[in-house]
Structure 1
């Protein structure tokens, strides 16, 4: 079975919005053992939509079409599909009644333009949208089934999970002969990782891919076919042996996601004191529901005065060592942990740039500390020639990795190939 996706919308094509639907869809289908083999993005132009529907329907078995089902003049998916099929748009009475009931139930007057959302190609099968005003529909054209969904992310995702996957399984034999494993790495570049992993002799049907999402590189291990899938554990063991400390998480999009899961499982608490990272550590954690169960507080103590008055950093420490120093960041971490007697505290202080560096402490110098109830671990890393954003995100990732390693009972401080470290 050949699965493809067509994404519609001028704002997507022009880069005005990021198409998060497409990435989520490909990942979700891969979890079902179905590989999305092609994705096309097309603007809100009728002739282009008709052309791409006709072209891809001769090549694919099933195509998910995302977007263009709204009530405005630039929502053209239904009309384009009718033209591609050579048939008329017909009012779907069931959806019209659903629309009228929805507006009445919500105490709103339905605009005339909303009636457009009940117009479907004559041969279309209506697909329910339980959370929006645009129904989906499915049409058979040439070789392919085209399955239409609205572009609103929460509507789209619910329809994929509740209707599209079952539609695929109903119409096609899914033998689950594709498997994907993902490894998140830190501290090594893509070319360095590739040079190392080229030493592995991969079985037929298996490939290794790379995705740069700084500060991480994600390694993707694809296996197609049962023979390749049976070799996954063996190849994974070789990858782990070759990369060692560079692998920081499995099947996670970020280290924050790994920390969130580990902290929930451990039932322990965390406080954070940030200077150069400016709240990035805390912000990444609170992206996840349930983080309030372990995150006590996140303090952005940017000025020296706040480090002294809020965290209890000694003025003489700042005078003798400076704000960006092991001594200061250790006192920051101990002070943050002591406020609510947290199990752990992370602290950062650095020079993110592009100005502010000195000969002794150039731009990209960052001190990071992890305080526990029994010890304090700290290091000063070097991140030269990185942008301000990358200095902050790399520092956040290293801080997370220190905590991750402590939670797993491993050495907290390790060397990273592409991240320098000041020796104590």
Structure 2
């Protein structure tokens, strides 16, 4: 089966918004062993959409069309598909009734323009959308099924999982069992990870993939077929043995997710004192429901004055060592932990750039500390030639990894090949 995707919308084409829908769809289907072969983005122009539908329908077996199902004049997917088929738009009575009922149930006045969302190409098969006002539909054109989905991410995800995946499994007889194992790494480049695993002999049906989502590199171990699935655990064990401390989580998208998993309802508590990361550590944990079970507070103490008055850092430490120093982050971590007697506290202070560096402490220099009730661990790292955002996200990942290792009873401070660690 050859799968393609056509993304619509002038705001996507012009770069005003990032097309996270396409990435999510491709990743979700890849985890089922379904590879996306081709993807294009088309603006809100009727003839361009029509031409794209016709042209790609000669090459693909299935095309996911995302967006353009709304009630406004720039939502043209249904009309363009009707033109491509040489058909009229016909009101789908079932969806019209659903629209009227939806607005009535939600005590909202339905605009006349919403009825446009019930107009489908004459040969279209309606696809249900239980969480929105834009129904999907599918149409056969030339050799391809075109499957139209709403642009709203929440609605799209429901439709792909509940409607599209069952459709292609039924239509194309996709019945082979698959399994996927994900290993998360930090501090290692994609090429070096691949080099380390180059000598590994993989059984038939098992393949490796790499996904860069900085500050992480994710290794995907994909197994197709029952025989390969039965060997997946053994292959995973071998990869973990080769890569060692490079692996920081299994089947988690980020280190923040791993920390949340380990702290949630664990009985441990955590406090955060952030300078250069500016609340990033705190924000990433608060993304997860239930983080209040362990997160005491997150303090952004950006200025020296706040470090002194909020965290109780001795001004002499700042005078003698500067804000970006082992002594300062250790004092910050102690101060954050002691406020509510937390079990753990993390602190960061660094020069994220692009300016502010010195010869001794260039841009990318970051100090990180982890305080427990008994000891404080700290390190100073250098993350050169990286953007301000990447310096901050890498710093947050290293801080999380220190905490993760402490929770597991492992060495808290380790060397990462792509990150220089200063001597204390």
Residue aligned with 2:75, SS: coil
Alpha-carbon displacement from aligned partner over 1:169-225 (angstroms, at most 9, x marks no partner): 443422234443322211112222222222223344443332222222222333444
Task: Determine if contact 1:30/1:180 at 8 Å carries over to the other structure.
Answer: no
Deviation at 1:237, TM superposition (A): 2.6
CA–CA distance in structure 2, aligned partners of residues 130 and 204 of structure 1:
41
Aligned residue number for residue 412 of structure 1: 412
In structure 1, distance between residues paired with 2:265 and 2:31: 24
SS for the counterpart of 2:367 is strand
The Cα of 1:400 is off from its aligned counterpart by 0.5
Pick which of 315-324 and 269-278 moved more: 315-324
C-alpha distance in 1, partners of 2:228/2:397?
33
Q: Which residue of 2 aligns with 1:392?
A: 392
Deviation at 1:363, TM superposition (A): 2.4
Change (3 A) 1:33 1:386: closer
Structure 1 match to 2:213: 213
Measured in 1, the distance between the counterparts of 2:83 and 2:358 equals 66
Provide the rounded CA distance (Å) in 2 between the counterparts of 1:183 and 1:38: 27
Alignment partner, residue 21 of structure 1: 21
Aligned to 1:89: 89
Aligned counterpart, 2:138? 138
Q: Residue 34 of structure 1 contacts residue 178 of structure 1 at CA under 8 Å; is this kept in 2?
A: no
2:261 is matched with which residue? 261
Structure 1 residues 354 and 171: CA distance shift in structure 2, 3 A: closer
Shift of 1:339: 0.7
1:20-419 matches, within 5 Å, as 20-264=20-264, 266-419=266-419
Gaps of 5+ in 1: none
Q: How many Å apart are 1:137 and its aligned residue?
A: 1.3
- Which SS does the other structure have where 1:199 is aligned? coil
Distance 1:406 1:158 in 2: 39
Residues 336 and 116 (structure 1 numbering): CA distance in 2 closer, same or farther, change over 3 Å? Answer: same
Conservation of the 8 A alpha-carbon contact between 1:32 and 1:176: no
The separation in 2 between residues aligned to 1:203 and 1:347, in whole angstroms, is 44
Question: Offset of 1:120 from its aligned partner?
Answer: 0.8
Give the aligned CA root-mean-square deviation in angstroms: 2.2
Distance 1:176 1:19 in 2: 30
Moved more, 231-240 or 60-69: 231-240
**Cα distance change, pair 354–28 in 1 and its aligned pair in 2 (3 A):** closer
Instruction: Please report how far the alpha carbon of residue 36 of structure 1 lies from its aligned counterpart in structure 2 after TM superposition.
Output: 3.5
5+ long unaligned stretches in structure 2:
none
Judge conservation of contact 2:10–2:44 (CA < 8 Å) in 1.
yes
* CA distance in structure 1 between the partners assigned to 2:33 and 2:207 by the alignment: 16
Partner Cα distance (2:249, 2:265) in 1:
15
Q: Distance in 1 between matches of 2:99 and 2:419?
A: 57
Q: Is the CA contact (8 Å cut-off) linking 1:33 and 1:176 kept in structure 2?
A: no
CA distance in 1, matches of 2:246, 2:361: 26
2:76 & 2:225 partners in 1: Cα distance? 39
Of 358-367 and 291-300, the range deviating more from structure 2: 358-367
Note if contact 2:126-2:135 (Cα within 8 Å) is conserved in structure 1.
yes
* TM-score between the two structures when normalised by the length of structure 1: 0.93
Contact 2:270 2:295 (8 Å CA) reproduced: yes
Asked whether the 8 Å contact 1:272–1:297 carries over to 2, the reply is yes
1:284-315 Cα shifts (integer Å, max 9, x gaps): 11122221221110001112221122111122
Structure 2: how far apart are the matches of 1:115 and 1:357? Answer: 59
